[in-house]
């Protein structure tokens, strides 16, 4: 006789599933609650961490100045806020801040691969540094994916952010060195288990920084092995970027940050590289106020101040006028090849880094002999492309590193 199926198993099974899900949700909520409490506790005295001694930058680039363990950390991780030594594009010593986060369980087989994260534009003021934020991990696009792969994640601020110092917005050489030196500094934290194999990943401004890091690594940080480089909507060609946005609010905002940094970096040595040589008197008047604001938290205020200057921001076309033409070119990526394979992601609905600009850069990098994988996402915008590209990026890394 055929035995009747016990239909009561289904409901019991669903009860087990529901109970398991409830426990997982409870654990996650508890973990996030503890993280928020830790984030709040860390605000007390945070400014003291960034107030480094006068001679703190003097020392070997990539050496650690200070590390502070954090309590409001992602699930099953350990993390630190760091200060470390780096150099500017001109070779001047500078102190830089950042974040290191690593899986809490020690690796079974030696140091971890490091994911060097280069962040997109957050602003240029000291307070706009990602490591200074209430939740310093929230903007690291793909962080959980890389932690789950067993990587140590190192996320630098750039010079002049967090720690007082020279403004480095879109100064490619400075940003790239900051990315590399942060990885070297992380190795001085024993519990971070940071190794010398590196994957560099950056979005927008961070794409420019990541590309410069790859181009400079062989000469500047020969002890690191850059295994792969990935960028999303990179600000690779500054001449094209500025030309595409000369007469809109993006051009005013980017120009306020960038021309100030260029004038500070080059103005003392390059004739014609002062703000008065490129901005209208009205623009010079609003730039200090723009530069004091952070992009995400103060976007409405940035637009309120900047929109009246659309069409009356620059006094000359910086893409065709010396020395700005040369400075934009000098700080554009692609001046030399590197050995690591390159993944470039682009959203086809991006209104800031236009798809045509990225396609031209892809062709340029391939002409240099770089192994480029180009991935497009039809619906992705500038703000969503780094997240939208993560599944393809993970598959690509599996093929490259394994």
The answer to whether 318 touches 330, Cβ cutoff 8 Å, is no
pLDDT of 334 higher than 70: yes
Separation CA 14–CA 396 (nearest Å)? 37
Beta strands at 225-232 and 93-103: parallel, antiparallel or unpaired: unpaired
Question: Residue 150 carries which DSSP code?
Answer: T
Quick one: pLDDT at residue 53? 75
pLDDT of 26 higher than 70: no
The answer to whether 249 touches 286, Cβ cutoff 8 Å, is no
Q: Does domain 46-237+332-401 have CATH number 3.40.50.1820?
A: yes
Quick one: pLDDT at residue 77? 98
pLDDT averaged over the chain? 92
Q: In 3-state terms, what secondary structure has residue 115?
A: strand
* β-bridge partners, 132: none
pLDDT of 17 higher than 80: no
Quick one: pLDDT at residue 45? 73
Element (H, E) at 93: strand 93-103
pLDDT of 1 higher than 60: no
pLDDT of 5 higher than 90: no
Quick one: pLDDT at residue 8? 44
Which phi and psi angles does 224 have, rounded to 5°? -100, 145
Quick one: pLDDT at residue 43? 59
* β-bridge partners, 228: 199
Quick one: pLDDT at residue 249? 97
Query: Considering only CA atoms, which of 278, 251, 281, 250 is closest in space to residue 263?
Result: 278
Q: In 3-state terms, what secondary structure has residue 376?
A: strand
Separation CA 57–CA 161 (nearest Å)? 14
Which residues are CB-neighbours of 401 under 8 A, at least 6 positions away?
Answer: 113, 199, 227, 228
Separation CA 302–CA 253 (nearest Å)? 7
Quick one: pLDDT at residue 28? 47
Structure confidence at residue 20 as a pLDDT band (50, 70, 90): low
Which has more confidence, 353 or 40? 353
Separation CA 231–CA 225 (nearest Å)? 18
Separation CA 208–CA 333 (nearest Å)? 6
Structure confidence at residue 55 as a pLDDT band (50, 70, 90): confident
Least confident range from 6-20, 146-160, 217-231: namely 6-20
Which has more confidence, 70 or 15? 70
C-beta atoms surrounding 315 within 10 Å: 16
Quick one: pLDDT at residue 171? 98
Quick one: pLDDT at residue 40? 52
Mean pLDDT of 307-313: 97
Mean pLDDT of 194-222: 98
Least confident range from 28-37, 64-73, 157-166, 349-358: namely 28-37
Structure confidence at residue 16 as a pLDDT band (50, 70, 90): low
The answer to whether 185 touches 84, Cβ cutoff 8 Å, is yes
C-beta atoms surrounding 76 within 10 Å: 11
Which has more confidence, 42 or 376? 376
Structure confidence at residue 18 as a pLDDT band (50, 70, 90): low
Quick one: pLDDT at residue 12? 61
C-beta atoms surrounding 172 within 10 Å: 25
C-beta atoms surrounding 361 within 10 Å: 25
Sign of the CA dihedral running 140, 142, 144, 145: negative
The answer to whether 82 touches 66, Cβ cutoff 8 Å, is yes
Least confident range from 37-51, 158-172, 269-283, 290-304: namely 37-51
Structure confidence at residue 54 as a pLDDT band (50, 70, 90): confident
* 180-205 pLDDT per residue, tens: 999 999 999 999 999 999 999 999 99
Spatial strand order in the sheet of 342-347:
64-69, 77-87, 93-103, 152-156, 112-118, 194-203, 225-232, 342-347, 372-377
Quick one: pLDDT at residue 76? 96
The answer to whether 63 touches 185, Cβ cutoff 8 Å, is yes
Q: State pTM to two decimals.
A: 0.90
pLDDT of 6 higher than 50: no
* 84-107 pLDDT per residue, tens: 999 999 999 999 999 999 999 999
Which has more confidence, 296 or 24? 296
């Amino acid at each position: 006789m055929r035995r009747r199926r016990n239909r009561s198993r289904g409901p019991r099974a669903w009860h087990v599933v529901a109970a398991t899900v409830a426990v997982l949700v409870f654990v996650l909520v508890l973990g996030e609650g503890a993280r928020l409490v830790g984030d709040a506790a860390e605000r007390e005295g945070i400014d003291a961490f960034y107030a480094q001694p006068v001679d703190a930058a003097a020392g070997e680039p990539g050496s650690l100045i200070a590390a502070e363990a954090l309590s409001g950390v992602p699930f099953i991780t350990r993390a630190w806020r760091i200060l470390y030594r780096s150099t500017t594009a001109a070779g001047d010593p500078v102190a830089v801040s950042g974040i290191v986060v690593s899986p809490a369980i020690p690796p079974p087989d030696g140091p971890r691969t490091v994911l060097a994260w280069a962040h997109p534009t957050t602003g240029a003021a000291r307070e706009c540094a990602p490591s200074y934020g209430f939740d310093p991990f929230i903007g690291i696009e793909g962080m959980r994916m890389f932690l789950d792969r067993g990587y140590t994640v190192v996320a630098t601020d750039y010079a002049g952010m967090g720690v007082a110092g020279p403004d480095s917005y879109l100064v490619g050489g400075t940003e790239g060195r900051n990315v590399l030196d942060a990885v070297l500094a992380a190795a001085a934290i024993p519990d971070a288990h940071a190794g010398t194999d590196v994957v560099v990943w950056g979005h927008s401004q961070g794409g420019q920084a990541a590309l410069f890091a790859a181009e400079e690594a062989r000469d500047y940080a020969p002890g690191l092995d850059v295994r792969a480089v990935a960028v999303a909507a990179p600000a690779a060609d500054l001449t094209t970027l500025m030309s595409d946005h000369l007469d809109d609010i993006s051009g005013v905002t980017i120009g306020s940050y960038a021309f100030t940094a260029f004038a500070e970096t080059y103005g003392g040595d390059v004739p014609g590289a002062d703000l008065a040589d490129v901005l209208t008197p009205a623009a010079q008047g609003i730039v200090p106020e723009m530069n004091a604001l952070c992009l995400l938290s103060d976007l409405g205020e940035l637009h309120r101040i900047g929109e009246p200057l659309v069409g009356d921001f620059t006094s000359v076309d910086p893409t065709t006028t010396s020395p700005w033409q040369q400075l934009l070119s000098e700080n554009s990526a692609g001046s030399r090849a590197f050995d690591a394979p390159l993944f470039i992601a682009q959203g086809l609905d991006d209104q800031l880094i236009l798809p045509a600009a990225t396609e031209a850069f892809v062709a340029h990098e391939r002409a240099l002999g770089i192994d480029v994988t180009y991935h497009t996402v039809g619906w992705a915008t500038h703000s969503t492309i780094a997240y939208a590209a993560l599944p393809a990026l993970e598959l690509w890394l599996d093929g490259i590193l394994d």
